[in-house]
Chains A and B, each alone.
Chain A
Amino acid sequence: MQSSSARSRASWLVALAASVVAACASTDEFAAARESWRGATYDQVVMAWGTPSQSSVDSHTWLSDDSAPRVQGSGGVGGMIYAAARCDRTLAFRDGRVVDERWAGDAEYCKRFARRK
């Protein structure tokens, strides 16, 4: 017969595995959102996000902030909280096309800025 401590350990392992899978999925989606702009023209980015907040010779930065949902909790008790979120996207252009992208900020929020097909 399975003891209650063994059952508790198993639940923790399942919760841990679920968190790792969720974190990996979120990271993958963040990378996919960031890379979705590779090869786009400056005009295509401006049509999606508007004019940049900062510009230099061959790179432009768009700054956005909002609140984003975050799941919080452990041991089977949890809930959704909202926290301030920021997403700074700097895109480098060569010959008028995105060749490099540096995104910093909340992964969940940044996913909103993926390129739409």
Chain B
Amino acid sequence: MRTLGVGRNALALLAFTILAACATTEKARESWSGATYDDFVRAWGAPARSGKLSDGADVHTWVSDAGPAYRSQSSVGFGIGGFGGGRGGGSVGVGVGASMPIGQPTPAPPARCERTLTFRDGRLVEQNWIGPDEVCAEFQRAKPG
């Protein structure tokens, strides 16, 4: 049935969107696996807070704010189309579409990503990232070259 097909597509799209959103911070975290403290300082600068655990491991926290961004609003589309077919003939379709945004783009607020990392002998052993995916994902390790 057509309605079921549309529902299935919508569900697939929703699942894909959720998976894509979940993957971003995780991907950024994983990109730093095996990195040293110096690698982080080169990429993000000096940490905002630093401390030591009872076993001598070093814990550093980097806090970053993403500036306000502008997101485009939803849009409305118009389309005209036609098809026809006579007796014994095939059908021919023609379509024209146009869309326009509604209102002004909405400002997204600044958001924060906090990364607390634990190092032993200068190497990363534990990571904890707190913040929205769209902000934290920006802190993925840059590929060399």
Contact = CB atoms under 8 A, between A and B. Distances in A.
A82 interface: yes
A49 B128 contact: yes
Interface string A16-52: 0000000000000000000000000011001111110
B110 A67 contact: yes
Interface in B109-123: 109-112, 114, 116, 118
B51 A51 contact: yes
Interface in A42-90: 42-43, 46-51, 64-67, 82
A46 B109 CA distance: 28
Nearest to A116: B128
Q: How large is the interface on B (under 10, 10 to 19, 20 to 34, 35 or more residues)?
A: 20 to 34
Nearest to B126: A47
A82 B71 CA distance: 14
A47 B111 contact: no
A113 B116 CA distance: 12
Nearest to B60: A50
A82 B110 CA distance: 9
Contact of A51 (B50, B130, B131): B50
Contacts of A82: 108-109
Nearest to A67: B109
Among B60, B61, B118, B130, the one with the most A-chain Cβ atoms within 10 Å of its Cβ is B130
A36 to B, nearest CB: 13
B53 interface: yes
B99 interface: no
A46 B114 CA distance: 13
B61 to A, nearest CB: 3
